[in-house]
Structure 1
């Protein structure tokens, strides 16, 4: 019995010794090293939490994205890399005693699986639409399945020039663009962005604006203290060409009727501009030598050299400037103490009608000179009362001007009975075109109509009110006035 007990005691001791040796120290360890980078460009990611499952040591990657897990017990592990803003990376690892294994993590951002929005569908204007207005509310649609907030970019090009209209950061699927050009073919495209993925482009669609109306004439109307240029078509529809925030005046259509030249006040100076009939393609011609005289709102100018140039006054000098701009060329100088107020050139360039006054605006004279500035004809000179105008016929044989036959003169240059006269150079006679004007009014600013069968002028009460009316008077073959018709009220400076 004692022997049996001793045997059992020995077995128990051996078992205890065997169990006490089955500890962690009896398993081998290894090392897990690695690197954490951003997927795509492989830039290192710092402060990424690296841990294992089953749990062991937890460390953080350094500035180079490197990490090391020391004394990891041999076995099978799932190694995890975690950082806010990134999708957790998981890599399997089987570690043996004394082994060092390397694990590479390529983490994606949390938005890496975010889907792009759908390509915008262009709704209006429809593809290849025609006769569109000059103000269009563009409409489109795009869907983002994740519900991300979308922003849009609208881009508009045309087939006429290299101008591009780009509107960015649009939050809605509607956007209105105004002041488009008549008769242009436009190409438009919209891109959508969820601020996560790259922008998605719509297809390109086209549309065409309505054609340029057949304008009857242009005129000026005063709005909020500024002169504003309008056009009017043959049906009487008005179209504002210049901004009411700018002072633009004395519009003149060229012979082909496709350009308007006009004056605009810029930094206190009166400068020449041109534009298309819809107000587009604005171009400033004069800069260093602006238009100037004793009353800048009354000074005129004319198209010259078959619409290739413009002639305009600067005090006693008359200049010509190419419509592409550049240096002005001096072509005529008045005598000392005389100031040029207006000029007009015949179509063949052989004659220029010139209006001159003294510094008070009186002692007016109208001369016809040749291209070199030599005097050809004196139309009117040495009279009392204001003389104004002028215009010259296409063939250079007739001259328009105005004269206040009341001969009244004062410091405010008020006129009491200004009439339009048509001077025939060959006959040396002047015909009164204003015989049938209303009493107590003045006729001013005369110009030939496009076909020279009528005269455009301005009629206004002689008490200097703003009740000005653009008016037309027909001209008979014998130069006598025919029918007289008021065109549009509250208008001045008409040109056809």
Structure 2
């Protein structure tokens, strides 16, 4: 009988311990701050809706285009930026406990609707590390209206930068050679699809880090 009581007490103890560990995990949060600017003029964009997936909270950018998300649960999070008349932007990032992650969104005007266009499967993959300083970026595209010929412009920018560089423009293939990258540096990049010179879709913003030769 004493042995049975001991087992019951032991089971209850583990149950409380599990609950305590679960509560500790739930309380692990980080913060996200950032700025949203026009991808062509670099002027700040106010009134941009910023949301997360998994959902946490929703905020709007202020007059200076800045935003802050508090108490975002640690782990991988997708940040979404949406504004009327602009192509939506997304960035997949990792949030760390009690740390702040800073982002920059470059949004381009949505000039013409040619049906659904999805840009996906990037090379380098999102979150890739130890990448060379010169190599070929690639991506795949699905589109509803395949009779509409698309061209692509590829943008790249460094972490915490509010300006970006075009590494490929008016491309008719889904690849571009990128050279002269900086070592041990975090980069963000995305692809914009155009039809007749007008923006029709953009990819998520992907990130990678170069190696240190």
CA distance in 2, matches of 1:84, 1:41: 17
Match of 2:77 in 1: 77
d(CA) in 1 for partners of 2:29, 2:72: 5
How far apart are the structure 1 equivalents of 2:62 and 2:113?
A: 27
Number of the residue aligned with 1:51: 51
How many residue pairs are counted as aligned between the two chains? 117
In structure 2, the residue matched to 1:23 is 22
Distance between the aligned counterparts of 2:83 and 2:108, measured in 1? 10
Q: Residues 166-315 of structure 1: matches in 2 within 5 Å?
A: none
Separation (CA, whole Å) in 1 of partners of 2:83 and 2:98: 30
TM-score norm. by structure 2 comes to 0.50
- Structure 1 CA distance for aligned equivalents of residues 24 and 70 of structure 2: 15
What secondary structure is seen at the aligned counterpart in 2 of 1:111?
coil
2: CA distance, partners of 1:60 / 1:23: 32
The Cα of 1:112 is off from its aligned counterpart by: 7.0
Q: Which has the higher contact order (CA 8 A, sep 6+)?
A: 2
Aligned equivalents of 2:104, 2:61: Cα separation in 1: 12
Cα distance per residue 1:145-185 (max 9 Å; x no partner): 79xxxxxxxxxxxxxxxxxxxxxxxxxxxxxxxxxxxxxxx
Q: Distance in 2 between matches of 1:19 and 1:82?
A: 40
Distance change (3 Å), C-alpha of 1:101 and 1:112:
farther
Aligned-CA RMSD value: 2.3
Cα 1:24/1:32, change in 2 over 3 Å: farther
Q: Give the 3-state SS of the residue equivalent to 2:111 in structure 1.
A: coil
State the distance in 1 between where 2:99 and 2:76 align: 13
| Aligned-pair CA distance for 1:22 | 3.2
Say yes or no: does 1:60 pair with 2:60.
yes
CA distance in 2: counterparts of 1:71 and 1:24, whole angstroms: 15
TM superposition score normalised by structure 1: 0.22
Q: Secondary structure of the equivalent of 1:9?
A: helix
Matches within 5 A, 1:356-375: none
Whichever of the two has the greater Rg, that structure is 1
Counterparts in 2 of 1:90 and 1:24: CA distance versus 1, 3 Å: farther
**What are the equivalent positions in structure 2 for 1:467-486 lying under 5 Å apart?**
none
CA deviations over 1:55-105 (Å, ceiling 9, x no partner): 111111001000000011111111000111111100111011111010100
Unaligned runs of 5+ in 1: 115-144, 147-195, 198-496
Q: Which residue of 1 aligns with 2:10?
A: 11
The one-character-per-residue Cα deviations of 1:101-125 (angstroms, maximum 9, x if unpaired) are 10100001111788xxxxxxxxxxx
CA distance in 2, matches of 1:24, 1:111: 48
In 2, distance between residues paired with 1:113 and 1:42?
24
Deviation at 1:23, TM superposition (A): 3.1
Distance (whole Å) between structure 1 residues aligned to residue 5 and residue 49 of structure 2: 56
Q: How do 1:156-175 and structure 2 match up within 5 A?
A: none
- CA 1:66 to 1:28, structure 2 compared with 1: closer, same or farther past 3 Å? same
Following the alignment from structure 1 to structure 2, what is the Cα–Cα distance between the partners of residues 41 and 56? 31
1:69 aligns to what SS in structure 2?
strand
Give, in angstroms, the shift of residue 25 of structure 1.
4.1
Residue by residue, what CA displacement relative to the aligned partner does 1:303-358 show, whole Å, maximum 9, x if unpaired?
Answer: xxxxxxxxxxxxxxxxxxxxxxxxxxxxxxxxxxxxxxxxxxxxxxxxxxxxxxxx
Partner of 1:90: 90
1:13 CA displacement: 1.3
Report what 1:164 is aligned to. Answer: none
Q: Kindly provide the CA deviation profile for residues 368-413 of structure 1, in whole angstroms up to 9, marking residues without a partner as x.
A: xxxxxxxxxxxxxxxxxxxxxxxxxxxxxxxxxxxxxxxxxxxxxx
